[in-house]
């Protein structure tokens, strides 16, 4: 939990640096692109494939991400930023993290390395169980889907 607070602080620090460098007359599209590219990895991207995260932790990360949109677009905290995120093709942190998990395990399943393939095969039910908690259908054949189809599926499912 203390690691999460540290990551949140680093995220806000990076976001504030970007906003200060760009100044008041900034292009919002650029300001959305820069945190998406440089700051969001501070929160969750690196290593999220092997985390055992709690849903409350991911909700906290989503709140931080939503607050950054409020700050960029000068919105109040009670206003929803979901339409902005949808229009700008930015997904929630939970969706992105789950997408990374699925792609990681599929790469292991399709690996030529027998040890990785066996490990992924053993963990397949656990991964699908995690996805079912978030209402990801087993009907969508994640095992045979390409990376592009998985990303498209998660975008449609969570948006």
- Domain containing 6 equals 2-90
First-to-final CA distance of the chain: 28
Residue written as tokens 């540290």? 6
142 and 102, same structural domain? yes
Looking up tokens 């929630």, which residue turns up? 92
| Co-location of 65 and 111 in the same domain | no
In 91-113, which positions are buried (b, 16+ CB within 10 angstroms) versus exposed (e)?
Answer: bbbbbbbbbbbbbebbebbeeee
> Residue 138's pLDDT is what?
61
The reply to whether 82 and 106 lie within a common domain is no
Number of domains in the chain: 2
Q: Lowest-pLDDT range, 7-11, 33-37, 68-72, 141-145?
A: 141-145
End position of a domain, from candidates 41, 61, 90: 90
pLDDT surpassing 80 at residue 70: yes
85 in the same domain as 106: no
Tell me whether residue 136 is exposed, middle or buried, using C-beta atoms within 10 angstroms of its C-beta: 0 to 12, 13 to 18, 19 or more: buried
The DSSP output letter for 48 is: G
Local confidence band at 66 (pLDDT 50, 70, 90 cut-offs): confident
Q: Residue 32: which of 64, 73, 79, 80 has the closest Cα?
A: 73
Q: Alpha-carbon distance 51 to 44, whole Å?
A: 9
The answer to whether residues 40 and 112 belong to one domain is: no
- In terms of domains, do 102 and 58 share one? no
- Shared domain for 40 and 113, answered yes or no, is no
Q: Are 85 and 120 in a shared domain?
A: no
**End position of a domain, from candidates 90, 108, 140:** 90
**Does 58 share its domain with 115?**
no
- Confidence band, pLDDT 50/70/90 cuts, at residue 137: low
Note the Cα 81 to chain centre separation in Å.
16
Would you say the C-alpha torsion 128, 134, 137, 141 has a positive or negative sign?
negative
Q: Which helix (H) or strand (E) holds 28?
A: helix 28-34
Within 10 angstroms of residue 59's Cβ, the number of other Cβ atoms is 13
Which of 63, 90, 117 is the last residue in one of the domains?
A: 90
Q: Are residues 78 and 129 in the same domain?
A: no
> Is the CA virtual torsion 110, 102, 51, 68 positive or negative?
positive
Read off the pTM.
0.72
- 82 and 101 share a domain? no
* 58 pLDDT above the threshold of 80: no
């Amino acid at each position: 939990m203390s690691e999460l607070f540290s990551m949140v602080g680093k995220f806000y620090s990076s976001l504030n640096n970007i906003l200060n460098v760009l100044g008041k007359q900034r292009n919002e599209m650029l300001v959305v692109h820069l945190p998406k590219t440089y700051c969001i990895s501070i929160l969750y991207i690196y290593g999220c494939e092997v985390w055992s995260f709690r849903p409350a932790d991911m909700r906290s990360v989503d709140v931080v991400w939503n607050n950054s949109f409020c700050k960029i677009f000068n919105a109040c905290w009670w206003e929803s930023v979901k339409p902005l995120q949808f229009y700008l093709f930015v997904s929630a942190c939970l969706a992105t993290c789950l997408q990374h998990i699925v792609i990681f395990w599929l790469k292991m399943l399709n690996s030529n390395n027998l040890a990785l393939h066996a490990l992924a095969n053993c963990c397949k039910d656990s991964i699908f169980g995690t996805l079912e908690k978030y209402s990801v259908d087993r009907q969508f054949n994640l095992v045979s889907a390409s990376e592009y189809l998985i990303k498209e599926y998660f975008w449609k499912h969570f948006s």
